[in-house]
Amino acid sequence: MNRALTIAIDGPAASGKSTLGAALAERLGYTYFDSGVVYRALTWLALERGVDVRDEMELVRLAESARIEVVRPTAGDGRQYTVLVDGQDATWSLRTPAVDHNVSVVAAHPGVRRAMTEWLRQIAGGGAMVMVGRDIGTVVLPGADLKVYLTATGEERARRRYREQLERSLQAEYDQILAEMRRRDELDSGRAIAPLRPAPDAIILDSDHLTVDEEIDQVLQHLALSEVATR
Ligand code: DC
């Protein structure tokens, strides 16, 4: 594969986007970027500063003034990257139930999405990028070379989150995780701007029935085909 391609991976929470995205990026020597981080970082900052998550104007102001950086992991504690918000390591703070609960409300504001979309496009500008999120193939990078949409049942996704929480020695309750996930799915899929949905030209992978290696194989096959088609 000669060209520096851009690959978009979208899907609901815990559908396996970050596992597939990171593994694929490593395989191709590309950069992996998890776009959920920018919405989570803004949400965390708003909660820290006491900004109301329903206040779009204040959130946009905060987004414009905040310095959000995603850098190589600075600790060997299972993180895929380190997130610095105004210089402070916020990597794990972005994964707390409070952020989970509020992030979809923050991400539904059109002004917030405008600011973040522009920023995400700049990050992906150079190509050789695997970007994961909810609207990468539909809105952020509609010209991506390959679009993947990952699906999985709510129950399977809740089980994954439950296991992740236990592995990080956090208290976890399956029913609560499932209910919170369903609520977030509804908010992310039902919002007026850039709702979660597959791009018409996305390949759909069902992560309930595929291993990560099988998913990677399918993506690489599609990439090889599109390379031949554009040659
Ligand atoms: O992928 P995640 O669970 O870390 O994403 C957190 C939230 O951010 C998700 O509930 C919706 C929002 N999000 C979004 O609206 N658009 C994206 N491209 C990525 C995430």
- Report whether pLDDT(2) > 60: no
Domain boundaries in the chain? 6-209
pLDDT of residue 224: 87
Q: What is the DSSP string of 19-69?
A: HHHHHHHHHHTPEEEETHHHHHHHHHHHHHHT--TT-HHHHHHHHHH--EE
Backbone angles phi, psi at 167, to 5 degrees: -60, -30
17 CA closest ligand 1 atom index = 1
CA–centroid distance, 221 to ligand 1, in Å, is: 27
- Report whether pLDDT(47) > 70: yes
pLDDT of residue 1: 55
pLDDT of residue 119: 93
- Three-state helix/strand/coil letters over 165-185: HHHCCCCCCHHHHHHHHHHHH
Q: Which of 12, 60, 48, 31 is nearest to 158 (CA)?
A: 12
Backbone angles phi, psi at 116, to 5 degrees: -70, -35
- Report whether pLDDT(3) > 80: no
Mean pLDDT of the chain: 93
CATH of domain 6-209: 3.40.50.300
Rounded to an integer, what distance in angstroms lies between the CA atom of residue 19 and that of residue 118?
25
- The answer to whether residues 68 and 85 touch, using CB atoms and an 8 Å cutoff, is yes
H or E segment at 123? helix 110-124
Rounded to an integer, what distance in angstroms lies between the CA atom of residue 34 and that of residue 109?
19
* Strand bridging mode 82-85 / 68-71: antiparallel
CA–centroid distance, 76 to ligand 1, in Å, is: 25
pTM of the complete model beyond 0.95 = no
- The answer to whether residues 36 and 136 touch, using CB atoms and an 8 Å cutoff, is no
Query: What distance lies between CA 92 and its chain's CA centroid?
Result: 15
* Out of 1-5, 129-133, 146-150, least confident range: 1-5
Backbone angles phi, psi at 37, to 5 degrees: -60, -40
Average of per-residue pLDDT across 16-33: 95
Average of per-residue pLDDT across 126-132: 95
CA–centroid distance, 41 to ligand 1, in Å, is: 11
pLDDT of residue 82: 95
pLDDT of residue 230: 61
Q: Give 93-121 pLDDT, tens digit per residue.
A: 999 989 999 999 999 999 999 999 999 99
107 CA closest ligand 1 atom index = 15
Q: Give 132-164 pLDDT, tens digit per residue.
A: 999 999 999 999 999 999 999 999 999 998 998
Q: Give 75-99 pLDDT, tens digit per residue.
A: 999 888 999 999 999 999 999 989 9
Query: What distance lies between CA 198 and its chain's CA centroid?
Result: 14
Which residue puts its alpha carbon closest to atom 8 of ligand 1?
36
* Strand bridging mode 6-10 / 203-206: unpaired
Q: Which residues line ligand 1 (CB under 6 A)?
A: 13, 35-36, 39-40, 103-104, 107, 133-136, 184, 188
- Report whether pLDDT(204) > 60: yes
The residues pairing with 129 across neighbouring beta strands, listed in sequence order, are: 6, 31
Q: Which of 6, 3, 41, 13 is nearest to 183 (CA)?
A: 13
Q: Put residue 184 in one of left, alpha, beta given phi > 0 → left and psi -120 to 50 → alpha.
A: alpha
Average of per-residue pLDDT across 178-186: 93
